[in-house]
Amino acid sequence: MAKTIVEKILSGHLVDGEMRPGSEIGIRIDQTLTQDATGTTAFLLLEAMDIPRVKTETSVSYVDHNMAQFGPENHNDHLYLQSIAKRLGVFFSRPGNGICHQVHFERFARPGRTMLGSDSHTPTGGGIGSIAIGAGGLDVAVAMGGGAFYTTCPRVIGVELKGKLPPWVAAKDIILRLLSILTTRGNVGCMVEYFGEGVATLPAPARATCTNMGAELGVTTSIFPADEQTEKFLAAQGRADQFTPLTADEGVVYGPITKKLHAEKDAATIENIKTYCTDVSVSAPDGEGMVEVTFGHVVIDLSTLEPLASGSPSPDNIKTVVELAGAKVRQVIIGSCTNSSYQDLMLVAAAIKGRTVHPDVELGIAPGSKQVLTMLSRNGALGDMIAAGARIIESSCGPCIGQGFSPAEGVLSLRTFNRNFAGRTGTKNDSVYLVSPETAIAAALTGEMTDPRTLTDAQNIACPQIDMPSQFDVDDCMIQPPLPPEQAEAVEIVRGSTIVKPPSGEVPSDELTGEVLLHAEDKITTDHIMPAGALLKYRSNVPEYAKYVFNCFNEDGQPTFADRALALKQRGVPGIIVAGDSYGQGSSREHAALCPMYLGVRVVLAKAIERIHQANLVNFAILPLTFADPADYDRIDAGDELVIVGLDEAIESAETITVKNTTKDVDFTCNVSLAPRQRKILAAGGLLNYTRQNG
């Protein structure tokens, strides 16, 4: 039978289970990526597993998130990470070398390989033809130790690209259009595979923009074929020998894919599916107004795309730039792992060369890597940006994770990033549009939301043609290669006092009488649960970081979520979080499970829980439950007492369990949607205990 690229790579790496969509599979991992904000915990947990040396083909530890260095915490983490990398046989990308996904794409990602990263934007590597998946640090630690990674055998969503992008329209507009069709919801357990004649028109870095922000769809990963463009990119990186062609078999059929949507609330999405997908059918609405929308695959004609923007607070809130034209813009930031490649920044430099940033706008630019920054500085483009008034930010995540450049209150900030969750910039009630570098630079010049296609006539700026260089400036001096085993053993691990051993999970009891600490709405992201920004520095100190769990819901003068949870914990009462749809959307940060666990949270009960977060909850022995009937969500309030009996059996094998709300005297049924291995992990009290017991 004709196979997709996804099926080819996964079946070639299968070590457990069967290639049946929906079932659990274990795959061998070739490469891992960690970054400093999740990596410290990942390596501390790896140490707890007693593994003397990583067993992967390539593992790379990056420092790119925590670079602000207020106080000793960040530098303590960097030194720990550098020393543990040396000890365990891991490549170490030093601070200053760039954003993990950009550097990994330039220097390590390979077609046909599997890669697991402790960062949700690891799928960037799909732009080069690898199956690159984001996961919690503990899962990545297990993979570094040679263990398989367990995931759902995916349904593959085909995205056919036709035609060629017009001038001033960018790869970012492709993924924003896809977000308007598939949205951030209902894609769990799927992978996206691009195909069609339009693929060949996109250079590898443009593909990386699409696969990077594919994370926002909630799919496990996205992938492009490996073709001439891939070969050209690898050759320009001095890695021509790492190229292997990769395409889906002739005659492969994608889909059908079915999504559950609300006939009225999701009317615009249903319209988009009808416009952009093949073989669409919509069922009659059920009693709740829900319909099943089925389609074959998505078709995007690149030649008809236009500049798009995604507005706060969700990446799938898509508008055309034309609709928004004229809105006053006060801040523009170009960078992040989505849009900070050499081509992106050369386009920006060419557009502002000889001009000045609009007086009402502050423009920040963060080149993605040392390679990009070095090339821009050597060819003069950096000088053009500086001369135009851009503020150059070091090659790191920086403003994307709320480290600096928080916008003023009430102003519009345009960013080429991938996330616009409320408050992520560090400013409450922020208003962010996620856009392409083309749209960003247009606004930086005019001071307002501007369709970049108008620049040619209005400002006499021709759309810059930026070709891929035949040779990138390759210099890996900031990547320390692994030491040979005999030298590695002698390395002393540097542990500053701010690095605290993370707690491990507890075996759940058969009966649980707990209290609802929080009754939260839909789309609670990991940024709500565990804020980053200025608090990132506590990542390697769980007791300290846990003080800020659900900080956005804390009110002045009132006990915080952490105070309330710890008070319950002292009384021996487990904490319960109740939430709506898409709970835990966003990042891979396992602190969003680890810190609540430390505070005594034992159950999360939601309408739906996102993939990476669900796995993190299980890994830290928090039971994830979903309402069998979503209407039961309204029969619980914060402060209610919930009783759950028969947990041993539920964790072992049951599909459902009864939860009793003793405060309201009502019972309801909840789904226990756990893969077989997850049941064992929970029964063992978390992945760390499970791994210790099972080797």
Tokens 């839909």 — which residue?
A: 522
Nearer to ligand MIC, 38 or 242 (CB): 38
Binding residue for ligand MIC, selected from 588, 661, 689, 691, defined by CB under 6 A: 588
Q: How far is CA 16 from CA 12, 27, 28, 208, 683, in A?
A: 12, 7, 9, 29, 20
If binding is defined by CB under 6 A, does position 401 make contact with ligand MIC? yes
38: nearest Cα among 594, 676, 667: 594
Q: How far apart are CA 443 and CA 363, in angstroms?
A: 10
Binding residue for ligand MIC, selected from 13, 453, 564, 589, defined by CB under 6 A: 589
If binding is defined by CB under 6 A, does position 119 make contact with ligand SF4? yes
210: nearest Cα among 170, 182, 250: 170
If binding is defined by CB under 6 A, does position 210 make contact with ligand SF4? no
Asked if 548 contacts 562 with a C-beta cutoff of 8 angstroms, the reply is yes
Asked if 307 contacts 169 with a C-beta cutoff of 8 angstroms, the reply is yes
225 φ/ψ angles, rounded to the nearest 5 degrees = -65, 160
Asked if 261 contacts 290 with a C-beta cutoff of 8 angstroms, the reply is yes
Asked if 419 contacts 433 with a C-beta cutoff of 8 angstroms, the reply is no
Nearer to ligand MIC, 366 or 684 (CB): 366
Coil, helix or strand at residue 667: strand
Query: Exposure of 411 by Cβ count < 10 A (0-12 exposed, 13-18 middle, 19+ buried)?
Result: middle
Q: How far is the CB of 367 from ligand SF4 (least distance, A)?
A: 12
Nearer to ligand MIC, 65 or 607 (CB): 65
The site partner of 336 among ligand MIC, ligand SF4, none (C-beta below 5 to 8 Å per kind) is ligand SF4
Q: Which stretch binds ligand MIC (CB under 6 A): 117-125, 246-254, 278-286, 652-660?
A: 117-125
Nearer to ligand MIC, 261 or 622 (CB): 622
Binding residue for ligand SF4, selected from 42, 176, 206, 337, defined by CB under 6 A: 337
Provide the token pair at 350. 């060419």
Q: Which stretch binds ligand SF4 (CB under 6 A): 229-237, 397-405, 575-583, 651-659?
A: 397-405
The site partner of 517 among ligand SF4, ligand MIC, none (C-beta below 5 to 8 Å per kind) is none
680: nearest Cα among 667, 663, 668, 692: 692
Q: How far apart are CA 216 and CA 338, in angstroms?
A: 12
Count of chain residues binding ligand MIC (CB under 6 A): 13
Binding residue for ligand SF4, selected from 324, 397, 441, 674, defined by CB under 6 A: 397
If binding is defined by CB under 6 A, does position 340 make contact with ligand MIC? no
Nearer to ligand MIC, 212 or 439 (CB): 212
Nearer to ligand MIC, 259 or 539 (CB): 539
If binding is defined by CB under 6 A, does position 120 make contact with ligand MIC? yes
DSSP secondary structure letters along 7-64: HHHHHHTEEES---TTSEEEE--SEEEEEHHHHHHHHHHHHHTT-SS--SSEEEEE--
If binding is defined by CB under 6 A, does position 121 make contact with ligand MIC? yes
Binding residue for ligand MIC, selected from 73, 77, 106, 119, defined by CB under 6 A: 119
Q: How far is CA 409 from CA 418, 431, 641, in A?
A: 21, 9, 40
Q: Which stretch binds ligand MIC (CB under 6 A): 114-122, 408-416, 556-564, 627-635?
A: 114-122
Q: How far apart are CA 357 and CA 377, in angstroms?
A: 19
The site partner of 99 among ligand MIC, ligand SF4, none (C-beta below 5 to 8 Å per kind) is ligand SF4
Q: How far is the CB of 291 from ligand MIC (least distance, A)?
A: 32
Which residues between 33 and 52 bind ligand MIC (CB under 6 A)? 37-38
Which residues between 70 and 109 bind ligand SF4 (CB under 6 A)? 99
Nearer to ligand MIC, 4 or 124 (CB): 124
Binding residue for ligand MIC, selected from 439, 587, 678, 689, defined by CB under 6 A: 587
Provide the token pair at 41. 């915990």
Nearer to ligand MIC, 89 or 137 (CB): 137
First to last CA, the chain: 37
Nearer to ligand MIC, 153 or 593 (CB): 593
If binding is defined by CB under 6 A, does position 400 make contact with ligand SF4? yes
Q: How far is the CB of 68 from ligand SF4 (least distance, A)?
A: 13
Q: How far apart are CA 383 and CA 156, in angstroms?
A: 45
Interaction site with ligand MIC (CB under 6 A): 37-38, 65, 119-121, 134, 401, 532, 586-589
